[in-house]
């Protein structure tokens, strides 16, 4: 990873240069946006200190020999010319007459490469053309994981092979997303289409500022000796897939996106053509902090009109993944396809279940089931044909990961997998997943086929069950409730869970967290639009909504106890089998939830929360407190009218707590 002056200012604990005040590149906010993978800057004062944290002892002394890294084979003839022109056009600055030239072969052996010029005639340099426009930049196109390993280990400090064969990397100063530095261009179209204002994750910028940042990113990429280009797909449903191009400065980012997107075969690459969306990842280079709309040296900018995204000032790979997810939240609804931040699995009889839940609710654990096939762990589309995974890989948290608790994820960390910000033993290269020296937000990115029970291709029929997960640390929500459509929309829009002491600094008692659609940081349209689409599809295809509490029972956090995972699994099993539909139900007070009187394998007394509280008065007070928090959170959405009248909005509001 390259270091730069601005980056060092951000990392040292002192003031800025020439007496200027230091600009903070990451600030903690609690405005309701889902910060499930955002994190503080690393505990290091310099880049060398950061590298030191990665290993348990000293820096490696084994020399690394230079080996040849061939390019992936490209198509011949006209298709090759068109492809190279397309890549070059993506990289060319708007103010230049010519972009970088594209070659095949090893950039270390320039004398052996054949220069492929993308013009039919020679263009003599003019006075108005800068010298950088004449620079020869090598494009490393869709390299294989083995080739990317070689590039990373040879040229990127902080890249090592671990004992299982995974590639350990560092994301620099930023070890999580920077949601307050994400910007979306507000133009004549997006002004009326997107969700802006209070509660929205969409922070506006204008077209001119985007072009300033784009120019800075492209100039940086063009100044490099080589850039990495990935041409890949999003969405496993062939007729609705999106072609994406990722232009990045490092092999680590290229391998990450190779894993996370859907990998084209040779024929698909030859006929790839012009991408639908392009990312310019110049994260090693900061944005100009004095540019309009900038609040730090980090900026993640999306221009939906140009179908482009620019990354400056952060090397955290998750920005690319979630940036594309945001784009899908805009593009898919235009095709009447619902984009969802959810896990998804399918039973052997073809019954599909969607799992929604914020961090800590058990979404990954419960959607991973050895008796069912995994369609995907995080991002999905629901079209007229059924459900499909948006991605081609998984991005799993691996703090405190163990083979006993999460065998599928543990075993997926092998050759080809990218490990971000983990700490390993200097000699054995064994990873210590409990070590938080670099960050608690350690991650593993691997192709979905590394999961043994993955459903390939990652598509399935229409869901039968929509499961909303909440870790209720207040201890007043039932372990399971059956929801009607209006209640499903209400709780989907609310996106509730609770943080407990220990999950974040300064938290001493449960704190309610709401993230619209269980992923507010990534949605583009107003939450009620996604909720209305969800209700329409559930009604049309006969899906049932469920609210499952994986949190506390018998008291709030610190007094009660967490609901046992085997009980929750029995509840999920009963949902999958359909037996829970035939149970007897009773309605709770305040929230008006339908709860079953019995579930096979689960003690009946825990199904109604009040039974487990010794202090009934405290239960009622806590229930009213949580209901008030729900009501206050939902005030943001009550003014938004769905359709020509406000009938649907009124139904959703009425489905909330009444007291």
Closest alpha carbon to 294 in 181, 196, 212: 181
- Residue 482: in which H helix or E strand, if any? strand 480-483
Q: Which residues contact 29 (CB under 8 A, 6 or more apart)?
A: 35, 179, 180
The pLDDT, as a whole number, for residue 643 is 54
CA atoms of 355 and 341, how far apart (whole Å)? 9
The pLDDT, as a whole number, for residue 248 is 97
The angle subtended at Cα 558 by Cα 556 and Cα 563, nearest 5°, is 60
The angle subtended at Cα 358 by Cα 356 and Cα 362, nearest 5°, is 75
Q: Is the dihedral of CA 628, 552, 361, 569 positive or negative?
A: negative
The pLDDT, as a whole number, for residue 76 is 56
CB of 143 closer than 8 Å to CB of 254? yes
* Residue located via tokens 């959405």: 637
The pLDDT, as a whole number, for residue 27 is 39
CA 582 to chain centre: 37
Closest alpha carbon to 319 in 218, 173, 177, 524: 177
Under DSSP, is residue 592 helix (H, G, I), strand (E, B) or coil? coil
The pLDDT, as a whole number, for residue 410 is 95
Under DSSP, is residue 623 helix (H, G, I), strand (E, B) or coil? helix
The pLDDT, as a whole number, for residue 77 is 62
CA atoms of 230 and 278, how far apart (whole Å)? 10
The pLDDT, as a whole number, for residue 127 is 40
* Residue located via tokens 């095949």: 104
CB of 350 closer than 8 Å to CB of 461? yes
The pLDDT, as a whole number, for residue 92 is 67
Q: Which residues contact 32 (CB under 8 A, 6 or more apart)?
A: 199, 514, 515, 516, 520, 633, 636
> Global pTM?
0.83
The angle subtended at Cα 98 by Cα 97 and Cα 101, nearest 5°, is 175
CA atoms of 565 and 563, how far apart (whole Å)? 6
CB of 293 closer than 8 Å to CB of 301? no
The pLDDT, as a whole number, for residue 62 is 43
In SS3 terms, 65-112 reads as: CCCCCCCCCCCCHHHHHHHHHHHHHHHCCCCCCCCCCEEECCCCCHHH
Closest alpha carbon to 423 in 159, 55, 167: 55
Closest alpha carbon to 373 in 341, 338, 403, 408: 408
CA atoms of 1 and 253, how far apart (whole Å)? 11
β partners of residue 168: 160, 419
The pLDDT, as a whole number, for residue 242 is 97
CA atoms of 442 and 37, how far apart (whole Å)? 9
Q: Which two tokens stand for residue 508?
A: 């001493």
The pLDDT, as a whole number, for residue 31 is 43
CB of 392 closer than 8 Å to CB of 449? no
Instruction: Report the chain (659 residues): mean pLDDT per 10 consecutive residues.
Output: 36 40 40 50 78 68 41 52 73 53 49 38 45 74 96 96 98 93 95 92 95 94 93 97 97 98 94 94 93 91 97 97 98 97 96 94 88 96 98 94 92 98 96 95 96 96 98 97 96 92 53 95 94 96 98 93 95 97 95 97 96 96 97 85 65 90
Closest alpha carbon to 547 in 479, 627, 462: 479
Residues classed as catalytic: 177, 322, 341, 359, 363-364, 378, 443
């Amino acid at each position: 990873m390259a270091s730069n002056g601005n980056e060092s200012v951000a990392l040292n604990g002192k003031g800025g240069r020439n007496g200027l005040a230091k600009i903070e590149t990451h600030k903690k906010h609690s405005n309701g946006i889902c910060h499930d993978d955002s994190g503080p800057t690393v505990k290091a004062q310099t880049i060398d200190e950061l590298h030191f944290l990665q290993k348990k002892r000293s820096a490696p002394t084994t020399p690394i020999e230079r080996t040849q890294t061939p390019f992936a084979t490209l198509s011949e003839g006209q298709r090759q010319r068109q492809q190279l022109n397309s890549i070059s056009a993506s990289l060319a600055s708007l103010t230049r007459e010519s972009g970088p030239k594209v070659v095949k072969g090893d950039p270390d052996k320039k004398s052996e490469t054949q220069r492929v010029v993308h013009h039919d005639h020679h263009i003599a340099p003019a006075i108005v053309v800068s010298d950088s426009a004449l620079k020869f930049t090598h494009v490393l196109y869709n390299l294989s994981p083995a080739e990317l390993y070689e590039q990373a280990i040879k040229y990127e400090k902080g890249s090592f092979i671990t004992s299982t064969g995974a590639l350990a990397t560092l994301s620099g100063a930023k070890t999580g997303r920077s949601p307050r530095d994400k910007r979306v261009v507000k133009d004549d179209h997006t002004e009326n289409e997107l969700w802006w204002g209070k509660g929205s994750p969409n922070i506006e910028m204008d077209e001119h500022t985007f072009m300033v940042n784009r120019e800075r990113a492209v100039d940086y990429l063009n100044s490099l000796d080589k850039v990495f280009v990935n041409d890949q797909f999003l969405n496993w449903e062939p007729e609705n897939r999106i072609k994406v191009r990722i232009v990045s400065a490092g092999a680590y980012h290229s391998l990450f996106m190779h894993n996370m997107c859907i990998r084209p075969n040779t024929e698909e690459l030859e006929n790839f053509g012009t991408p639908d969306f392009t990312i310019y990842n110049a994260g090693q280079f900061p944005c100009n902090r004095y540019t309009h709309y900038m609040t730090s040296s980090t900026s993640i900018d999306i221009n939906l009109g140009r179908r482009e995204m620019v990354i400056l000032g952060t090397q955290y790979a998750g920005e690319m993944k979630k940036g594309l997810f945001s784009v899908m939240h805009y593009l898919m609804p235009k095709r009447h396809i619902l984009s969802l931040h959810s896990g998804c699995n399918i039973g052997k009889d073809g019954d599909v279940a969607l799992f929604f839940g914020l961090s800590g609710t058990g979404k990954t654990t419960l959607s991973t089931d050895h008796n069912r096939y995994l369609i995907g762990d995080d991002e999905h589309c629901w079209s007229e044909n059924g459900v499909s995974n948006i991605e081609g890989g998984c991005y799993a948290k691996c703090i405190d990961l163990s083979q006993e608790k999460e065998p599928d994820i543990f075993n997926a960390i092998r050759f080809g997998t990218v490990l971000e910000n983990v700490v390993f033993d200097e000699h054995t290269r064994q990873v210590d997943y409990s070590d938080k020296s670099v960050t608690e937000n350690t991650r593993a990115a691997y192709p979905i086929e590394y999961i043994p029970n993955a459903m390939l291709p990652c598509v399935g029929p229409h869901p039968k069950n929509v499961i909303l997960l909440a870790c209720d640390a207040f201890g007043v929500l039932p372990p399971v409730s059956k929801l009607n459509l209006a209640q499903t929309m209400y709780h989907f829009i609310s996106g509730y869970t609770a943080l407990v002491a220990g999950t974040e600094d300064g938290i001493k008692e449960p704190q309610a967290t709401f993230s619209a659609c269980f992923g507010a940081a990534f949605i583009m349209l107003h939450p009620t639009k996604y909720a209305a689409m969800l209700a329409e599809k559930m009604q049309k295809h006969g899906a049932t909504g469920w609210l499952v509490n994986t949190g506390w029972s018998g008291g709030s956090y610190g007094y009660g106890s967490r609901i046992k995972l085997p009980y929750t699994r029995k509840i999920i099993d009963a949902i999958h089998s359909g037996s829970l539909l035939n149970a007897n139900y009773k309605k709770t007070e305040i929230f008006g939830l339908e709860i079953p009187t019995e579930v096979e394998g689960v003690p009946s007394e825990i199904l109604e929360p009040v039974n487990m509280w010794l202090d009934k008065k405290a239960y009622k007070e806590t229930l009213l407190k949580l209901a008030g928090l729900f009501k206050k959170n939902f005030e943001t959405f009550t003014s938004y009218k769905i359709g020509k009248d406000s009938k649907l909005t009124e139904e959703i509001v009425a489905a909330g707590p009444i007291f």
